[in-house]
Amino acid sequence: MSRVEQAIQKAEEQGRGAFVGYLPVGFPDLETSIEAAITLARNGADVIELGPPYSDPVMDGAIIQEATQKALASGFRMADLFTAVRKITAAVDVPVVVMTYWNPVLQYGVARFADDLLAAGGAGLITPDITPDAATEWIRESERTGLDRIFLAAPTSTEERLDLIVAASRGFVYTVSTMGITGERAELDRAARTLVGRLRSHGARRACVGIGISTAEQIRAVLEYADGAIVGTALVRALRDGGVAQLAEVTRQLSTGTRRGE
């Protein structure tokens, strides 16, 4: 069982669903982004999801794009990602996964990226824009290093595609709640519940739901049927508007939605 799966299981044993918190590396600067990720772990996050800034973030909403563009303008380099992972994992015992578009990994070198992430203490990759059938090199390197590979499933995924995603994923399947970009929504698409059910029927051990989750109430609703809830925009907004102190407060508030049966 991977560290990510162990974290999800630990939450389950405590009567909770897992809280996965996303933040971009380098926003508003590298050291603050490291402090912010540590703050997530110390205030209720079970898994940390770090996003290296990318110049063409097709899946990201306005708030995350704004943050990643600022990080790029401030001089972010891929080496900063591994520095951040190393410092975070040295400070807290929470698995860190990297949410990255595939082109930066290719440019860095897939084997080199896997080696450097493993050496820094990282737990795996979420790859939103590459499918398992196109990820032969990454699957090979993740097998070699033991890193998790987390693929995305969408409401539009065919049964054949879900079979492929479930078979290839390790850690959890990233379950897209609704079609579109990241951001906060007043109501989550009911398709998420149906999609998790479909993933279960294909043998998925762990499914975490992301895209559009921004309140404790939404987390509570998602955890009625999923293993974890992924929050990004609400956390980035808190960090942007009120710094690490506000991020800590929002993280604590969101984590109240993880306890089941309340």
Nearest-10 Cα torsion for 203, 207, 210, 214: 140
> Could you give the CA distance from residue 7 to residue 201 in angstroms, rounded to a whole number?
23
Rounded distance between C-alpha atoms, residue 122 and residue 108, angstroms: 16
- Neighbouring CB atoms inside 10 A of 10's CB total 12
| Sign of the alpha-carbon torsion through 5, 6, 9, 10 | negative
Across-strand partners of 149?
125
Question: What's the whole-number mean pLDDT along residues 86-108?
Answer: 97
Distance CA 20, CA 211 (A): 12
> What is the percent of the chain where pLDDT is above 70?
93
Residues in the chain: 262
Contacting residues for 43 by C-beta, under 8 A, at least 6 apart: 248, 251, 252, 255
Q: What is the pLDDT of residue 57?
A: 55
Lookup: tokens for 54: 């990318």
Q: Are strands 152-153 and 173-176 parallel, antiparallel or unpaired?
A: parallel
The pLDDT value given to residue 260: 86
pLDDT more than 90, % of the chain: 82
Higher pLDDT, 179 or 228: 228
Work out the average pLDDT over 63-77: 90
* pLDDT at position 184 over 70: no
Calculated CA dihedral for residues 176, 179, 182, 183, nearest 10 degrees: -110
Q: Look at residue 60 in the predicted model and tell me its pLDDT.
A: 64
pTM of the model: 0.93
Q: What is the spatial distance between Cα 61 and Cα 81, in angstroms, rounded to a whole number? A: 21
Q: Which domains are seen in the chain, by residue range?
A: 3-254 (3.20.20.70)
CB-CB neighbours of 259 under 10 Å: 16
Which of the pair, 175 or 184, is modelled with greater confidence?
A: 175
pLDDT value at position 179?
41
The 3-state secondary structure of the chain, one letter per residue: CCHHHHHHHHHHHCCECEEEEEEECCCCCHHHHHHHHHHHHHCCCCEEEEECCCCCCCCCCHHHHHHHHHHHHCCCCHHHHHHHHHHHHHHCCCCEEEECCHHHHHHHCHHHHHHHHHHHCCCEEECCCCCHHHCHHHHHHHHHHCCEEECEECCCCCHHHHHHHHHHCCCCEEEECCCCCCCCCCCCCCHHHHHHHHHHHCCCCCEEEECCCCCHHHHHHHCCCCCEEEECHHHHHHHHHHHHHHHHHHHHHHHHHHECCC
pLDDT in the model for residue 34: 98
Residues involved in catalysis: 49, 60
- Amino acid at site 111: A
Q: Is the pLDDT at 22 greater than 50, yes or no?
A: yes
